[in-house]
Copies of this chain bind each other. A is one copy, B any other.
Amino acid sequence: MEPLPWPEGEFGGRDARAERVARAALSRLVEPGDAAFGRAVRNHGADRLLRDLRGHGTLPVELARRDPAGYRVRLGPHDPEADLELIAELGGAFVVPGDPDWPTQLDDLGDAGPLGLWVRGAVSLRPAALRSVAVVGSRACTDYGTYVAGTLAADLAELGWTVVSGGAYGVDGAAHRGALAVAGRTVAVLACGIDVNYPRGHERLLARIAELGTVVTELPPGAHPTRYRFVERNRVIAALTRGTVVVEAALRSGALISARRAALLGRQVMGVPGPIGSASSAGVHALLREPGSVLVTRAAEVVEQVGLIGDDLAPMLSGPTRPGDDLAPQTRRILDVVPTRGALSTALIAREAGVAPAATRRRLDVLAARELVDRTSKGWRRRGGA
């Protein structure tokens, strides 16, 4: 896509540029989710904080317990301008709070939110994230998990929802692929630098997402993933989306951490059930036993949870409608008695349904008129399969 414009942003005047560069630089120092650091940036500005570090000044009170030397080491020789040129060359941008493309829902993370986001892709992040759902789950998922994630993501994408996931093996990959397969919108939130090829086996998938969707990370170019970064990455997925669907997760799966993070942020937590014998579903089932989480089996049910009233149609809970759904209870009871194979006499149907024969006959005529039953030589038969 065209490199995103660099507007003045919320800092006003040419400071915006300086703040952006400083945030790019500081993103090398901090681990994701460092609220104290975020508070310092909010209170004093990134540019000021960076200059103090470089100029061997004292750290602000918010970082009193931190080691400035350590920070300076990590800052090292890195040139934020070079990083910004790199992301521009990749056709992306480093988006910071105040930019038009900044997804403001991330502000729900407060000072623990990202200093900025390294973004690549064909789709602008903010609009993509507005109607988005996270589809997450185990790396080591079963064929069932792969199938469910792919189908759910495809259907969500076709309903106009952006599928957000972590770009990992298993459920994440299946979800991204499902959305791509229907030319839908998908966002991969990485736990490493935007230029880092991880996981190896997803090099082409991530390239494709960057081409047709959006790849985003708070970590600077070259940064490698760590377990801690994976965990903190999940807070971004949770905050970015209206809700999180866990497709398959063992009892200790990181996907459950994502889900609980989402709940803490007031996002809807959903889970897709599976066979109770499957360890890959045990974590989801445990999640679904927690208050506030909702069992979902298809995209329409997900949209019902995260959609906007009026905007998104609520689906029926009882599955597709069938002819006869609108029948009076007694007529319904009679219809239920009429067999789909063979046939039954009015008298037998009346007995089965516990309705008087005369009334039964009248109702049967109604049902025949509505082409729900046929009268055969042997008696009444129901049309089509039950």
The reply to whether the CB of A282 lies closer than 8 angstroms to some CB of chain B is yes
A176 to chain B, nearest CB (A): 20
CA distance A231 to B366 in the complex (A): 24
B residues in contact with A298, CB < 8 Å: 276
Count of this chain's copies in the oligomeric assembly: 2
Contact of A31 among B273, B295, B354 (CB under 8 A): B354
**Interface stretch (choices A128-136, A156-164, A286-294):** A286-294
Are B226 and A354 in contact, with the CB atoms below 8 A?
Answer: yes
Are A295 and B288 in contact, with the CB atoms below 8 A?
Answer: yes
Are B290 and A317 in contact, with the CB atoms below 8 A?
Answer: yes
The reply to whether the CB of A42 lies closer than 8 angstroms to some CB of chain B is no
B residues in contact with A251, CB < 8 Å: 318-319
| Chain A contacts with B in 282-327, Cβ cutoff 8 A | 282, 285-286, 288-290, 294-298, 301, 317-319
CA distance A148 to B285 in the complex (A): 15
CA distance A288 to B352 in the complex (A): 30
Question: Which chain B residue has the least Cβ–Cβ distance from A144?
Answer: B275
Query: Can you list 25 residue pairs at the A/B interface with Cβ under 8 Å?
Result: A148-B276, A227-B333, A227-B336, A227-B337, A227-B354, A228-B333, A229-B354, A251-B319, A272-B276, A273-B273, A273-B274, A273-B276, A273-B288, A273-B295, A274-B275, A274-B276, A275-B275, A276-B297, A276-B298, A285-B295, A285-B297, A286-B318, A288-B288, A289-B294, A289-B301
